Every structure is written in C-alpha cells, then in structure tokens.
Amino acid sequence: MQKDAWKNDEICNLVLNRKFAHMAQSDHFKSISKCFEATSDVKSIIDVGCGNAEFGDVCKNVRYTGADLPHIIKKVALVQRPSFNYIEFDVDKDDLSFLNNYDLVFMNGFISEMKNPIETLAKILTVSKKYVLVHRQDVGETTYLEEYTPYDQNLIATNSTVSRNELQKTITDCGFTLDHMCNSFSGLGSKKTFLLKKDD
C-alpha cells in the first residue's frame, strides 16, 4: 500500500477512469445550490482541489478556474476539460495569495483530504476575499484523521473530521462568519456543506 494517494502519479488514471455520475446529477448537488443561493454578486470562482474540474461545467456566467497539484492539472483536468483556466499548486508548500483574486473559493472534498485540516482552512481563509464554500467535510465533536483508499485501489489517502468548536473558532479568528450549513447528502450524516462569508 502506498501513502499520499493524491501526490502519486498513479492516481491520475484512477480519476480519469472513475465511473461516478456527474455531480450536477448527484444527490449532493442540492446542498451546494443551497449555499450558492445565499451568495450575491459572485463573478469569479476558484475550485481548489478541482480534480477533473467537473464543477466548471455548472459554473455558468462566472469566471471559473480550477486549481490542483501539477500532475492532476496536466494529466486529468486539461485532458478532460481543456477549455478552462487552471492553476497548478500544492497547498502544503505554495503561497496561496492567488486565491484573493476570486469572489468565491470552492472546495469539494479538499479540506477533508488534509492531514492538518484546520491549519489548511485557516491558511485559505487568511487570503480569501469574500466567500468560501466547503463541500463534503465531516464535522464532529473532535478533530481526527482516518485512512481510506480512493476508488478502492491501493493508494492511501486521508479523511479528516474537524471538531465543530475548532472549526467555529478558526472561522471567527480569520474574520469570517458561518453563513449557512447543511448536510451534504440528503438524510442524516456527518458530511457538511457550508458557506463562509468574510466580515465587512
């Protein structure tokens, strides 16, 4: 078994060959729409950890940019959706100030992949301009990490659960307000979708 699934080149073929329904047809799309309804005047979106950039397909009348690790952009996103704009970056190493150029930072299953989810969220909030929308993030009593194998293959990734209290403190400390939170999937579950708005 190999660690750090997303940093391993082999993940590219797994993403390219995945057989999920398009997110616009999935049962968790409703939670994203609900959060979007609470925004106003969003003209540019950056999809952090964009993967195959499927979200770009539903971003109408806004400037969409996908951002991900260099091999994911080159071997997945540009292969499947060559017409979008992309930024190659590594959240663990790079300066994130480019996020400040966008009205809304979208993260679908991104913070949840981090070994240091709260610190990563804080770094992102520090440079974000207006809205941050987090999708499919486990929120619970404590912060902890679990291992899982994306696409049930032999690469190991992390799924983080963040403590509700730590999350709220980070949001407040970074000058944001939790505007809206709902279950990512219909029914019960710990996976949440939430919209953060920068304080005036």
Question: Closer to ligand SAM at the Cβ: 37 or 92?
Answer: 92
User: Among 65, 68, 158, 197, which residue sits at the site for ligand SAM (rule: CB under 6 A)?
Assistant: 68
Degrees to nearest 5, angle at CA 134 with 129 and 139: 130
Distance CA 189, CA 191 (A): 6
Question: Closer to ligand SAM at the Cβ: 91 or 181?
Answer: 91
Q: Is 93 helix (H, G, I), strand (E, B) or coil?
A: coil
193: CB partners within 8 A, 6+ apart: 28, 31, 32, 34, 35, 133, 134, 135, 136, 137, 181, 182, 183, 184
Query: Applying CB under 6 A, does 69 fall inside the site for ligand SAM?
Result: yes
x/- string (CB under 6 A) for ligand SAM, residues 72-111?
x----------------xxxx---------------xxx-
Question: Closer to ligand SAM at the Cβ: 93 or 200?
Answer: 93
Please report how close the Cβ of residue 157 comes to ligand SAM at its closest, in angstroms. 7
Is residue 174 within 8 Å of 125, Cβ to Cβ? yes
Query: Applying CB under 6 A, does 50 fall inside the site for ligand SAM?
Result: yes
